[in-house]
Amino acid sequence: MRALATHRLASLVPIAAIMLVLPLMFPSAYYYRVAALVFIFALAALGLNLLMGFAGQVSLGHAGFLGLGGYAVAIGPTHFGVPPWLCIVAGAALSGLIAFLVGRPILRLKGHYLAVATLGFGLLIAIVLTNEAGWSGGPDGTSVSRLTLFGWRLSSSDAWYWIAGASFLAGATLGLNLIDSPTGRALRAIHDSEVASSLLAIDVARKKLGVFVLSAVYASVAGSYLALLNGHITPDISGFLRSIELVAMVVLGGLGSIPGSLVGAALLVVLPQTLTMLHEYEHMVLGLVLMGFMIFLRQGIVPGLAAFFARWRR
């Protein structure tokens, strides 16, 4: 029993259980849609968390990869006749390749410099998607053909709930595997001391690049799902606010906490939906709630609550 509770993947059991039970309480398809969005953003936040929470590198341009994945499933089927599922894979590969090429020079930078360089990258993608109207449909975006798998046409929200949920669990499994491995230990070491890491034979630049590519692939897949779920895509997917939103999800849920990425995504997806009843005060209340969480649970919601309960039990 104890061995189960301390198992590497133990934190995924309650998440999977909630995922299975939750639909019983959904009064309408709209709830499936919101929950699917939560899992999709959680997947992107999870990848970013591997980069920020474990390796300690900031990216303010991750929505750029969200856009690459999203437009891959928009452009691939219409312009090249590639099936959408293959476009998800191709988009992820392209995002990984671009992350590799962009990451090599910019991951040498640290702190604010890295943040600004990634910010520039995100803006660049957004501008390209807006201006290349022939491919992307310009600022108004373009429609996305639905995903067909084994002859099924997946357009309903409940189908996406299960796809996104299962993908999040798969992504979280890979993430938890990584943390407890030679690569994961090296990344966590880099976070605390690059000098000590390099003198323990860790190739710091290569490890950072590896996790940057990985986080880009997560974001790309999430972007593809988002486009397929909505059936439409605009360059806003790569916007600066989207990038900030992803960072906020990671920090709010807890840097370095994989369940935290889900909690952060859930909060930032669900809260604006429920606050719409406050009309013009919506954004103000949202801002206050975020500030409150950061003031009282500085380590993030999941690690903060875990520490609180650990103290309380003693």
- List contacts with another protein (CB under 8 A): 8, 174, 177-178, 180-186, 188-189, 191-193, 195-204, 210, 214, 256
Tokens of 246: 């992803």
| Alpha helices in the chain, H assignment, sequence order | 2-5, 12-21, 29-49, 63-75, 84-106, 111-131, 133-136, 157-179, 182-192, 194-198, 204-230, 240-253, 258-275, 282-296, 301-313
Identity of the residue, 207 or 242, whose beta carbon is nearer to another protein in the bound complex: 207
Distance between CA atoms of 61 and 71, rounded to whole angstroms? 16
The distance of closest approach from Cβ of residue 244 to another protein in the complex, given in angstroms and rounded to an integer, is 25
The distance of closest approach from Cβ of residue 193 to another protein in the complex, given in angstroms and rounded to an integer, is 4
Identity of the residue, 256 or 259, whose beta carbon is nearer to another protein in the bound complex: 256
Distance of CA 28 to the CA centre of its chain: 26
The distance of closest approach from Cβ of residue 284 to another protein in the complex, given in angstroms and rounded to an integer, is 35
For residue 202, what are the CA distances in angstroms to 37, 184, 205?
Answer: 37, 12, 9
The distance of closest approach from Cβ of residue 210 to another protein in the complex, given in angstroms and rounded to an integer, is 5
Identity of the residue, 24 or 201, whose beta carbon is nearer to another protein in the bound complex: 201
Distance between CA atoms of 190 and 202, rounded to whole angstroms? 9
Token pair 């790569």: residue:
238
Distance between CA atoms of 233 and 71, rounded to whole angstroms? 7
**Residues in a beta bridge with 143:** 232
Identity of the residue, 37 or 211, whose beta carbon is nearer to another protein in the bound complex: 211
The distance of closest approach from Cβ of residue 175 to another protein in the complex, given in angstroms and rounded to an integer, is 8
The distance of closest approach from Cβ of residue 85 to another protein in the complex, given in angstroms and rounded to an integer, is 21
Identity of the residue, 130 or 261, whose beta carbon is nearer to another protein in the bound complex: 261
Identity of the residue, 215 or 234, whose beta carbon is nearer to another protein in the bound complex: 215
The distance of closest approach from Cβ of residue 40 to another protein in the complex, given in angstroms and rounded to an integer, is 20
- Confirm if 101 and 45 have CB atoms less than 8 A apart: no
Identity of the residue, 104 or 185, whose beta carbon is nearer to another protein in the bound complex: 185
Identity of the residue, 140 or 180, whose beta carbon is nearer to another protein in the bound complex: 180
For residue 246, what are the CA distances in angstroms to 4, 23, 58, 77?
Answer: 31, 25, 11, 28
The distance of closest approach from Cβ of residue 172 to another protein in the complex, given in angstroms and rounded to an integer, is 12
DSSP string, 93-136: HHHHHHHHHHHHHHTTS-HHHHHHHHHHHHHHHHHHHHH-HHHH
Tokens of 108: 């040498």
